[in-house]
Amino acid sequence: MNCCASTQIASLPCGSGTERCGERFTLVLKNPGALRKMFLEPSELSLGEAYIYDDFDIEGDIADVFELADHLFSQKLRVTDKLRFGSLLMKLPSTSRPQNGRRPAELDGSPHSKDRDHNAI
């Protein structure tokens, strides 16, 4: 595996939010621009695309990643915090994804029409 960085999540909030859990997964970044792409405009779509396009991998229980993502997306950040995080993200490398043969589907027609859904599969 050709990795450029590895970030370990050492503790995450458990059910009540007052207790802490031990290390449950490792997020392995596979290209220098992975974090910037994932979190500059954070959404479930950007994280899902980053995973599909092999920008990162997960070592450990993938279900725990969803718990962390839900926790992060539920945070109500102040404008000053958003600006600070955005500034930090802009300092990270902005490299394009390596070409791995994957690309978004190019679909025509009405969403969820029989032909479009067939072409998507």
How does pLDDT run across 50-107, given as a tens digit for each residue?
Answer: 888 888 888 888 888 888 788 878 888 899 988 998 888 888 887 665 556 666 677 7
Domain count, the chain: 1
pLDDT at 24: 76
Maximum alpha-carbon separation in the chain? 50
> Does 1 score more than 60 pLDDT?
no
> Does 5 score more than 50 pLDDT?
no
Residue 48 is part of which domain span?
5-120
CB 116 within 8 A of CB 109: yes
Q: Please say whether the dihedral angle defined by the alpha carbons of residues 47, 53, 55 and 60, taken in this order, is positive or negative.
A: positive
What's the rounded Cα separation, in Å, for the pair 64 and 13? 11
Annotate 27-48 with b (16+ C-beta within 10 A) or e (fewer): bbbbbebbbbbbbeeeeeeebe
